[in-house]
């Protein structure tokens, strides 16, 4: 029997020494730990312990930056990956309101923004996930980052499932059914930015993660970032309440509060019929909440990309391009 300590044990020990003895990993330690995980150089019991110790502690910006840097080295490198303006992660799913953010992304793409949206279908049946909605609009799941890059060149927007470009991360993400809790992988995926877009949109469910993502973006030299508490944890403005946006612009952090778009809150959507998304885009039916969620989300993106001088002008611009959309272009 080999009694020598496994090399990965040091990282579990750093996190698990107790209240007085434990500490966060340095960025370099986080990088080496995640690289070992993705190279399948550790034991399953170590992975479970590592993920749950991080879950209890919550990731530091330095840890998150190290994890992301390591994950990026494991991704395939597309031949042409410098054509993306906006990275849009989508991993949470929606259960109270329809995923109006998808129409926000389509509207931005129609107006010249080149977008990579990436995500996956979850294991909970009571949520609507992005792949099914993109299919409704005629946007197929790309089978590689190269294919996604090519589709962006043609249509300004592409969607790719996590399993298509990182089955390793998908496998770790699915450990939630065994561990009973989300893991730091869910946080990592929101800032992974696999095609190195200059601008990054993020929605979080827990407000405390906004400054963590903001500072991690600075560590990763992400040029532009906007992160806010998204409806259901997706990159979608909830128009019923104030929205505090945490931003990064060329290494400088800032925050900006956007006022509520309605005086009273809307009730939960009881039907959650995804075909209504297509009907609203086509102008066949109206949805007060949905249109506000679309234009409110587009406004945050416009402001982050430097296309509007204030939240007010961003909202006005987003409403204008919504009214001028091509209602007959979907399904593609």
Give the tens place of pLDDT for each residue, 144-185: 999 999 999 999 999 999 999 999 999 999 998 888 888 899
Mean pLDDT of the 292-309 span: 97
Nearest Cα to Cα of residue 281 among 231, 321, 326, 234: 326
Predicted TM-score (pTM) of the model is 0.95
3-state secondary structure of 306: coil
**SS3 at position 297:** helix
**Average pLDDT of the residues in 80-103:** 93
Contacts of 263 (CB under 8 A, 6+ apart): none
**What is each CA distance from 106 to 116, 135, 210, in whole angstroms?**
11, 13, 25
pLDDT at 187 over 60: yes
* Structure-token pair, residue 314: 């961003």
Domains and CATH numbers, the chain: 9-73 (1.20.970.10), 86-323 (3.40.1030.10)
Q: Which residues pair with 309 in a beta bridge?
A: none
The sign of the dihedral angle between the CA atoms of 263, 264, 268, 269 is: negative
pLDDT value at 1 more than 60: no
């Amino acid at each position: 029997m080999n009694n020598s300590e496994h090399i990965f044990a040091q990282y579990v020990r750093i996190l698990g020494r107790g209240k007085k003895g434990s500490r966060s990993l340095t960025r370099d330690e986080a990088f080496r730990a995640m690289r070992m995980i993705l190279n399948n150089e550790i034991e399953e019991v170590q992975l479970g312990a590592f993920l749950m110790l991080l879950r209890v502690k919550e990731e530091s910006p330095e840890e998150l930056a190290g994890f992301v840097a390591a994950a990026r080295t494991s991704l395939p490198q597309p031949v042409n990956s410098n054509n993306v303006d906006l990275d849009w992660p989508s991993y949470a799913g929606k259960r109270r309101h329809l995923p109006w953010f998808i129409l926000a992304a389509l509207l931005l793409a129609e107006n010249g923004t080149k977008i990579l949206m990436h995500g996956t279908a979850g294991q909970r049946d009571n949520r609507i996930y992005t792949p099914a909605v993109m299919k409704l609009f005629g946007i197929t799941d790309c089978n590689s980052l190269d294919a996604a890059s090519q589709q962006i060149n043609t249509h300004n927007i592409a969607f790719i499932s996590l399993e298509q470009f990182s089955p390793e991360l998908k496998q770790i993400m699915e450990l939630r059914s065994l561990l009973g809790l989300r893991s730091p992988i869910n946080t990592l995926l929101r800032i992974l930015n696999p095609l190195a877009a200059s601008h990054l949109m993020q929605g979080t469910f827990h407000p405390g993660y906004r400054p963590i993502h903001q500072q991690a973006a600075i560590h990763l030299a992400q040029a532009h970032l906007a992160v806010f508490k998204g409806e259901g944890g997706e990159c979608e403005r909830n128009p019923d309440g104030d929205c505090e946006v945490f931003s990064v612009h060329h290494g400088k952090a800032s925050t900006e509060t956007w006022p509520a778009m309605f005086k009273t809150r809307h009730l939960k959507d009881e039907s959650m019929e995804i075909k209504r998304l297509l009907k609203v885009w086509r102008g066949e039916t109206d949805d007060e909440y949905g249109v506000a969620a679309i234009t409110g989300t587009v406004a945050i993106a416009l402001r982050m990309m430097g296309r509007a001088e204030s939240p007010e002008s961003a909202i006005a611009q987003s409403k204008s391009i919504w009214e001028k959309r091509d209602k007959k272009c979907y399904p593609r």
